[in-house]
Amino acid sequence: MKNKRTTDEKTVDIIDLFETAVEKKVTRLDDEGLKTLSKKMEEMLHVGGTIGNAEEKLKQLKEQYRDLSEDVIPNMMREMGISDIRMDDGSRILVDPFYSARITEKSRAEAHQWLRDNGLGDLIKNTVSVAFGKGEDDLALQTMDTLEKQGFMPNQKEAVHPSTLKAAVKGLIESGDAAFDSGVQKLFSVYTGQRTKITK
């Protein structure tokens, strides 16, 4: 008479079969999937390295271009006594002055006061804002005085747009405005130079 297998023995067999199947699946992943995954990771690292090298190369090229445009060529043309050249293909190479300026957080108050004192206060963009809760649209339409009476404290921010400042600085320098002396220019972090342009 054959011995009947107990329920526990059958359960053990099922577990063994399950573990064997899992082991085979993991083995296949190790042998195939992990190799593919490893290759893709290496590919990603390679692409990342290529991007890094390209960005560094681009940075170097931009610096080289800036040096040629703002230093080497303008100096050579000045030494030769020429301000522009017409090429055989019809393109024109010339050197134009350029200006840059910015107002730092540290000098903001003093710089804005100088602009106001010298008739340039309209360059300053004055933004007043206040945060309202949901459903307070009607209240948001009221004036500044009304907001203060309601106990709200609006945020005020003054700023001069970079392009507006640049245009103003260019005008002040090219007009020879005596008030815009070296001390004031330092206040606005003014930088002047020459830049080579090629037009066709």
pLDDT: which is higher, 32 or 73: 73
Residues in the chain: 200
> How many domains in the chain?
2
pLDDT tens for each residue of 151-181 = 776 777 889 999 999 999 999 999 999 999 9
Pair (51, 93) in one structural domain: no
Pair (58, 3) in one structural domain: yes
Alpha helix ranges (H) inside the chain: 7-28, 34-67, 73-80, 108-117, 137-140, 144-149, 162-174, 182-187
Pair (93, 190) in one structural domain: yes
Pair (50, 22) in one structural domain: yes
CB distance 154 to 129 below 8 Å: yes
Average pLDDT over residues 41-63: 94
Counting beta carbons within 10 angstroms of the beta carbon of residue 48, is it exposed (0 to 12), middle (13 to 18) or buried (19 or more)?
exposed
Q: Is the pLDDT of residue 2 over 60?
A: no
Q: Is the pLDDT of residue 22 over 60?
A: no
Output DSSP code: residue 83. Answer: S
Strands 125-129 and 155-159: antiparallel
Domain boundary among 56, 82, 108: 82
Q: What residue numbers bound the domain in which 123 lies?
A: 87-199
Domain boundary among 82, 98, 120: 82
Average pLDDT over residues 37-64: 93
pLDDT: which is higher, 28 or 125: 125
Q: What is the pTM of this model?
A: 0.57
Pair (96, 183) in one structural domain: yes
Domain boundary among 28, 48, 82: 82
Model confidence band, residue 47 (pLDDT cutoffs 50, 70, 90): very high
Pair (139, 194) in one structural domain: yes
Pair (94, 130) in one structural domain: yes
User: What are the structure tokens assigned to 23, written together?
Assistant: 């082991």
Pair (162, 103) in one structural domain: yes
Pair (106, 174) in one structural domain: yes
> In 3-state terms, what secondary structure has residue 102?
coil
Q: Is the pLDDT of residue 7 over 80?
A: no
Pair (129, 48) in one structural domain: no
Average pLDDT over residues 53-74: 94
DSSP secondary structure of 125-156: EEEEE----TT-HHHHTS-HHHHHHTT---EE
Q: Is the pLDDT of residue 194 over 80?
A: yes
Winning range, highest mean pLDDT, from 8-17, 149-158, 180-189 = 180-189
Pair (8, 100) in one structural domain: no
Pair (15, 73) in one structural domain: yes
